Amino acid sequence: MPDRSDIRLRAAQLRADFENAGALVVDPPLLQPAGLLLDLYGEDIRARAYVTSDGLRGEQMLRPDFTVPVVQMHMRDGAEPARYTYAGEVFRRQEQDPDRANEYIQVGYEIFDRDNSAAADAEVFALMANSVAGLGLRAATGDIGILMAAVQGLNTTARRKAALMRHIWRPRRFRALLDRFAHRVPVPQSRQALLSTEGVPTDTGVEIGKRSRAEIDERIAALREDAAAPPIAENELLALETLMAVRETVPYALEQMRDIAVDLPSISTALDRLEARSAALAARGVDVQYLDFEVSYGRTSMEYYDGFVFGFYAETRPDLPPIASGGRYDALTRQLGQGTEIPAVGAVLRPDLMLILEKASS
């Protein structure tokens, strides 16, 4: 492990670089109200963040990242457009892997800009690429927006699309839903029994709890409606599956996806965005011809990202988490903005990991 003071020094240098790139330095508090994070991430965050509490403010979390407090701060009183940078500790509870750090320093760069998303994406990516240049890292990129557009465009009920959208970040549940909506798996017996009874079921015993009879009836009606709806068509399903498996360099990925768009025309706008981003990246000196692109990249670990996503990995050290990672999170600003929203993209760097890699190569 590199020395703490060396890590701090490197973090300060990187933050100064980002300041020079035009960002305003921000320093959000270590303790964050737990309610907000729980609202965003659900119960899973408890397994990943340290929770503490006092009698006055209730549950607080040691910040698991900077993005949420920075977005909040910007939505409260930020000027537009804005660029922010920060450096400081984040805390991640570890229950499975003792080799993973539970406290480390992140240096970040975030852009809030309405006008040119492609340029902002490219700016963040290029800044990170320059910061880790010389470490021999592999860049992985993706775009959650493509899969989201594909789901939105499916020829099926709004309810099914909403269910799929809700589980974009849980690939296994997504898969299970897709199989059910395509009638590829048998209907569970309990549901068959429920739906085979005519009319509104009676004699369901004592009603207890906050979930009312009306809610139960509503869901049964929804299930009946779903059972009557036709399955998602085979050609759409195949196209969606082919799309999820796309893993190529950017130009080839684009070519493949343009073919897929014949069956899933709803992804065309998202593909135009990818093309514009690639042009912006190339303009910043990124070699897009050899840049990897994966449609499913970022689906398991990056919950609030909903567009461009990327990470820089040390291929010689597969045990290490990404040295830098980031992406676009427009929807998060909508959730935290209480009625307002602004397109946003950002990324973080791990100075501790950079020092480890530098030491190994020297």
Partner 1 sequence: MSLKLGVPSKGRLMEKTFSWFEKRGVTLSRTGSDREYAGQVDGVDGVELVLLSAGEIPRELAAGRIHLGVTGTDLVYEKLPRWEQQVQQIEAMGFGQADLILAVPKSWIDVDTLDDLDAVAAAFRARHGHRLRIATKYHRLVREFLTDGGVADYQLVDSQGATEGTVKNETAEMVADITSTGETLRANHLKILSAGPVLKSQATLWRSRTAAMSAEDKLVLKQMLALLHGEA
CA distances from 208 to 4, 74, 211 (A): 56, 44, 8
Minimum distance between the CB of residue 186 and partner 1, rounded to whole angstroms?
12
Instruction: From 9-17, 165-173, 332-340, 348-356, give the range in contact with partner 1 by CB under 8 A.
Output: 165-173
Tell me which residue of 120, 136, 134, 131 sits closest to 15, measured CA to CA.
131
DSSP state, residue 115: S
DSSP state, residue 265: G
Per CB under 8 A, the list member of 27, 80, 218, 241 interacting with partner 1 is 218
Nearer to partner 1, 5 or 196 (CB): 196
How many amino acids of this chain bind partner 1 (CB under 8 A)? 37
Per CB under 8 A, the list member of 114, 138, 166, 183 interacting with partner 1 is 166
Tell whether omega for the bond before 81 is within 30 degrees of 0, i.e. cis.
yes
Per CB under 8 A, the list member of 204, 338, 340, 362 interacting with partner 1 is 204
Phi–psi pair at 183, nearest 5 degrees = 55, 40
Minimum distance between the CB of residue 212 and partner 1, rounded to whole angstroms?
9
Rounded Cα distance between 272 and 317, Å, is 35
Per CB under 8 A, the list member of 27, 215, 225, 234 interacting with partner 1 is 215
Q: Is the dihedral of CA 196, 201, 205, 209 positive or negative?
A: positive
Going residue by residue from 123 to 162, which x/- string records binding to partner 1, judged by CB under 8 A? ----------------------------------------
Going residue by residue from 69 to 98, which x/- string records binding to partner 1, judged by CB under 8 A? --------------------------xx-x
Per CB under 8 A, the list member of 1, 133, 158, 206 interacting with partner 1 is 206
- Which amino acid would we find at residue 273? R
DSSP helix/strand/coil, 207: coil
Per CB under 8 A, the list member of 12, 30, 36, 38 interacting with partner 1 is 38
Rounded Cα distance between 67 and 41, Å, is 13
Tell me which residue of 344, 323, 310 sits closest to 136, measured CA to CA.
323
Task: Examine residue 47 and tell whether it contacts partner 1 (CB under 8 A).
Answer: yes
Nearer to partner 1, 95 or 115 (CB): 95
Instruction: From 83-91, 198-206, 234-242, 310-318, give the range in contact with partner 1 by CB under 8 A.
Output: 198-206
Site for partner 1 in 170-189 (CB under 8 A): 170, 172-173, 176, 180, 188
DSSP result, 271-299: HHHHHHHHHHHHHTT--GGG-EEETTTTT
Beta-strand pair 292-294/344-349: unpaired
Nearer to partner 1, 8 or 191 (CB): 191
Q: What's the start-to-end Cα distance of the chain, in Å?
A: 15
Q: In this structure, are residues 326 and 128 in contact, taking their beta carbons and an 8 Å threshold? A: yes
Nearer to partner 1, 175 or 258 (CB): 175
> Which residues in this chain contact partner 1 in the complex, by CB under 8 A?
38, 42-44, 46-47, 95-96, 98, 163, 166-167, 170, 172-173, 176, 180, 188, 190-191, 194, 201, 204-211, 213, 215-216, 218-220, 223
